[in-house]
A and B are shown apart, each in its own frame.
Chain A
């Protein structure tokens, strides 16, 4: 059973702080990893993708991947109240299958 685990939160950080979101996955053959942001009542929005070990930065977002530890994280620098949402970690296990396995999501609240 392929699983993706996230802390459900809520994770509360003050405005301007760094928010750190974590995700672990169960299968070592995983190929690609994604972070989605979902506002209440809306559909998931892709914010980061990462395919190889290390860090990938895009604006205020940094995704970190450690395949040996089966761990992927998302850092949000200078957090803003508009970042308050549920963050979903998704894993693509590759092969002939393109579907994503999602974690249950971490709810982030950024307090002004």
Chain B
């Protein structure tokens, strides 16, 4: 069974730009969660989608948004990029809300 895939793997953007990251979950998984990982803050929850509905949102500004499509694929968007948005963005998929989560390889975003 193929794992979680994320595209792109690496991204360099300039302050003020926007970016869209994509995640394809494991086949059959309907829940997708997004996390931001930085050396200082560790892994922090961004948002979670189940059956195209956002079920939960972390404590991040409105510049961070996401969506899920009918095939469970998910995208997250960050607008008006700031230097502090430089991080590893991880997507995790699970069968349902309380099940084990499996991470993709992540997208390394660098904002200059």
Question: Which residues on A are within 8 Å of B, measured CB to CB?
Answer: 31-32, 34, 36, 42-46, 49, 88, 92, 94, 96-105
On whether A88 and B43 interact (CB within 8 A), knowing A43-B90, A96-B55, A99-B33, the answer reads: yes
Interface size on B, residues (CB 8 A): 27
Q: B18-37 CB contact bits vs A (8 Å, 1 = yes)?
A: 00000000000001010100
Whole-angstrom CA separation of A32 from B31 in the bound complex: 16
On whether A46 and B100 interact (CB within 8 A), knowing A99-B45, A101-B45, the answer reads: yes
Whole-angstrom CA separation of A32 from B98 in the bound complex: 8
- Total A-B residue contacts, Cβ distance less than 8 Å: 61
B48 touches A (CB below 8 Å): yes
Question: Which residues on B are within 8 Å of A, measured CB to CB?
Answer: 31, 33, 35, 42-45, 48, 50, 55-56, 58, 88, 90, 92, 94, 96-106
Which residues of chain B come closer than 8 Å to A34, judged between CB atoms? 100-101
